[in-house]
Amino acid sequence: MRFNHSAWRVRLLFVPATPSPLSSAQSQLPCGIRLRTEPITRRSRYLSTTYGPPRASMEAGDVRGGGLSHSALDRLPAPPKIPMRSRDERKAAMSSDLILDGMVGSNIKLERRIFCNRNVNMSTVTAVGFDQDYTLAQYRPEEFETLVHTLTVDKLVQVFGYPEMLYSLDFDWTYMIRGLTIDKQRGNILKIDRHKYVKVAYHGFKQLSRSARLNTYTRVSVRDALDQPDKYTLIDTLFSLAEAYLYMQLVELKDEHPELLPGAKSYADLYRDVRGAVDLCHRDGTLKRVVAADPERYIHKDPALVPLLTNLRRSGRKVFLATNSLWDYTNVVMNFLLADRVGAAKNDAWLAYFDVVVTGCGKPSFFKDLKPLFEVHVQSGMLYNTDGGSPMIPVGQDDLPELVVELRNEQLEVPGLSNGALKSLENPATVPKS
């Protein structure tokens, strides 16, 4: 069989896998798909799927205008009819507990699956790190975001001097999404595409007209960069949703009743106050104390976390936790998620799921700035004064105090905290970076 170098195509004829009077140049596949090739210069009445070599020979009467003759087509059996499913049937199949992808079945529900557009070769990954908040700990937005809004309003009234009528403001936790941008100078919230084009703009909760939007952000002699931190801020975390909603409420209050605000507040001043009130809720522990008192109300319990962390460690990889939360709150959340313990029942057994735990990271600067590490005594939550990861001998003494030595010996015997993990903590250079 010879082939020339001219372009060629492949034909797929979907017919039952039964004998039929086709020419010898057609290859029959077990699944009932017959493969047929012909030069691309010929006109085809069938679906062309890819390119292939030309036919070596054809029997007389098999070809007419690049395809089968009418007599040959008449001898082909009719293809089987595939029943069409209704829209409701297709929707039910997609939401079924058992989703088949054509090759293997999975009992993971569709909403819990992870889809990606890039493969990762896990054989080259030696350490896997997790954040805590909104990563391992998935907060219930209807409860947690409402709590953030309520506590922030309280700080604005009690600390920043805003009127008590703010307590009557409602909160819709479904309204905001991540990826929006706040224009602090104008009191607007923007939807920007990847080309820095403002597609949608709201002032408070009122959408700007197309002409107003273009005149503000497009038809200007000098366009803003839209990423200047003094003028714009990005809603890039789930923690920012409640504060963005509250900021929009204050924008409308300024427009309708500016006399109610403390002093002559600009839109930028409003955002600065909201941001300061939210930070104060985190700094003074107001927010986390409420969550720690009833973690089940504010945090989803995920039964897949323990198998996930266990399988990663069994695979030989190092697993670490790096969170901005301090030890006391981390201990509460991890006990609830990994050990199902709350209140006085908390212990440190959850440390067994990690090789290294770093709290109070201060990310993202944690990954680029060299900061001293302080060792945590897990029973008391106290910090050891350290230099390069090792406890320092106090000035005027020849050795560490006996209490510190005893505490360190206790920590070495904590179940799940391996010597290797402690050595990694003692040497900051060995702490894995994600």
Active-site annotation, residues:
131, 133
Query: Which stretches of 242-305 are assigned E, i.e. beta strand?
Result: none
| Region label for 204, one of left (φ > 0), alpha (ψ between -120 and 50) or beta (otherwise) | left
Closest-CA residue to 152 (of 246, 77, 84, 231): 246
The CA–CA distances, whole Å, from 360 to 171, 365, 376 equal 30, 12, 11
CB of 21 closer than 8 Å to CB of 72: yes
How far is the C-alpha of 5 from the C-alpha of 164, rounded, in Å? 84
CB-based contacts of 363: which residues, under 8 Å, 6+ apart?
131, 322, 324
* Paired tokens of 259: 């006399």
Quickly tell me which residue has 């819990």 as its tokens: 112
DSSP 9-48: EEEEEE--SS-----TTSEEPTTSEEEEEEETTS--SS-E
Q: At what angle do helices 141-158 and 267-283 cross, to 10 degrees?
A: 110
Q: Which residues pair with 320 in a beta bridge?
A: 129, 356
